[in-house]
Amino acid sequence: MSITVVGSVAFDSVETPAGKRERCLAGAATYFSLAASFFAQVRVIAVVGDDFGAAEQAVFDAHNIDTGGIEHTAGKSFFWQGSYLENLNEARTLRTDLNVFAGFEPKIPSAYRDSEFLFLANIDPVLQRRVRESMPGVKLVAGDTMNYWIKDHRPALLEVLKGLDILLINDTEARMLAGNNNLLQTARTVIALGPRFLVIKHGEYGATLFHGLGKGRTGEQPFRAPALPLEAVIDPTGAGDSFAGGFFGYLASQPELTLGAFRRAMFYGGVMGSFACERFGTERLQQLSRPEIDERFNLFRELTHLD
Amino acid sequence: MSITVVGSVAFDSVETPAGKRERCLAGAATYFSLAASFFAQVRVIAVVGDDFGAAEQAVFDAHNIDTGGIEHTAGKSFFWQGSYLENLNEARTLRTDLNVFAGFEPKIPSAYRDSEFLFLANIDPVLQRRVRESMPGVKLVAGDTMNYWIKDHRPALLEVLKGLDILLINDTEARMLAGNNNLLQTARTVIALGPRFLVIKHGEYGATLFHGLGKGRTGEQPFRAPALPLEAVIDPTGAGDSFAGGFFGYLASQPELTLGAFRRAMFYGGVMGSFACERFGTERLQQLSRPEIDERFNLFRELTHLD
Instruction: Find the mean pLDDT for residues A130-143.
Output: 96
Residues of chain B above pLDDT 70, percent: 98
Return the exposure string of A205-239: e unless at least 16 CB atoms fall within 10 Å of the residue's CB, then b.
bbbbbbbebeeeeeeebbbbbbbbbbeebbbbbbb
pLDDT exceeds 50 at position A164: yes
Could you give phi then psi for residue A67, rounded to 5 degrees?
-110, 20
Chain A, nearest residue to B188 by Cα? A231
What does each C-alpha distance from B201 to A25, B153, B182, B188 come to in angstroms? 37, 22, 14, 16
Q: Give me the amino acid identity at B128.
A: Q
For residue A214, what pLDDT is reported? 52
SS3 B216: coil
The tens digit of pLDDT for each residue in B279-294 reads 999 999 999 999 999 9
Q: Which of B203, B135, B124, B123 shows the shortest CA–CA distance to B165? A: B135
Q: How far is A304 from chain B (nearest CA, A)?
A: 5
CA distance B17 to B246: 26
pLDDT exceeds 50 at position B218: no
Give B-chain residues touching A263 at CB under 8 angstroms. Answer: 305-307
What is the SS3 assignment for chain A? CEEEEECCCEEEEEEECCEEEEEEEECHHHHHHHHHCCCCEEEEEEEECCCCCHHHHHHHHHCCCEEEEEEECCCCCEEEEEECCCCCCCCEEEEEECHHHHHCCCCCCHHHCCCCEEEECCCCHHHHHHHHHHCCCCCEEEECCCHHHHHHCHHHHHHHHHCCCEEEEEHHHHHHHHCCCCHHHHHHHHHHCCCCEEEEECHHHCEEEEECECCCCCECCCEEECCCCCCCCCCCCCHHHHHHHHHHHHHHCCCCCCHHHHHHHHHHHHHHHHHHCCCCCCHHHHHCCHHHHHHHHHHHHHHCCCC
The tens digit of pLDDT for each residue in B223-282 reads 999 998 998 899 999 999 999 999 999 999 999 999 999 999 999 999 999 999 999 999
pLDDT exceeds 60 at position A146: yes
Instruction: Find the mean pLDDT for residues A206-210.
Output: 96
Chain A, nearest residue to B230 by Cα? A184
Q: Give the orientation angle of helix A125-134 with respect to helix A154-162, to 10 degrees.
A: 30
Instruction: Find the mean pLDDT for residues B55-60.
Output: 98
pLDDT exceeds 50 at position A216: no
For residue A181, what pLDDT is reported? 87
Mean pLDDT over all residues of chain A?
Answer: 95
Q: Which of B304, B305, B307 should one mutate to test binding to chain A, selecting the residue with the greatest count of A CBs within 10 A?
A: B304
Among A91-105, A215-229, B245-259, the least confident range: A215-229
Judged on CB neighbours under 10 Å (0-12, 13-18, 19+), B152 is exposed
Judged on CB neighbours under 10 Å (0-12, 13-18, 19+), B83 is middle
Q: Do A306 and B216 touch (CB under 8 A)?
A: no
ipTM above 0.85, yes or no: yes
Give B-chain residues touching A181 at CB under 8 angstroms. Answer: 88
Instruction: Find the mean pLDDT for residues A221-237.
Output: 92
Residues in Cβ contact with B262 at an 8 Å cutoff, skipping those fewer than 6 apart: B197, B209, B211, B223, B251
Instruction: Find the mean pLDDT for residues B111-120.
Output: 97
Mean pLDDT over all residues of chain B?
Answer: 95
pLDDT exceeds 50 at position A281: yes
The tens digit of pLDDT for each residue in A168-200 reads 999 999 999 999 989 999 999 999 999 999 999
pLDDT exceeds 70 at position B216: no
B→A contacts (Cβ < 8 Å), by residue, are: 88, 181-185, 187, 202, 204-206, 208, 216-217, 221-226, 229-233, 260, 263-264, 267, 299, 301-307
On whether the CB atoms of residues B89 and A181 are closer than 8 A, the answer is no
CA distance A306 to B152: 39
Give B-chain residues touching A230 at CB under 8 angstroms. Answer: 182, 184
**pTM to 2 decimal places:** 0.93
Chains A, B: CB pairs < 8 Å? 86
For residue B280, what pLDDT is reported? 97
The tens digit of pLDDT for each residue in B73-100 reads 999 999 999 999 988 888 999 999 999 9
pLDDT exceeds 60 at position B214: no
Residues of chain A above pLDDT 90, percent: 91
Q: Do A206 and B225 touch (CB under 8 A)?
A: no
Q: Which of A149, A153, A47 shows the shortest CA–CA distance to A103? A: A47
Q: Which of A198, A205, A208 should one mutate to test binding to chain B, selecting the residue with the greatest count of B CBs within 10 A?
A: A205
pLDDT exceeds 80 at position B152: yes
pLDDT exceeds 80 at position B53: yes
pLDDT exceeds 80 at position B113: yes
Among A209-213, B121-125, B174-178, the least confident range: A209-213
For residue A218, what pLDDT is reported? 42
Q: Give me the amino acid identity at B164.
A: L
For residue A307, what pLDDT is reported? 77
pLDDT exceeds 70 at position B195: yes
For residue B213, what pLDDT is reported? 63
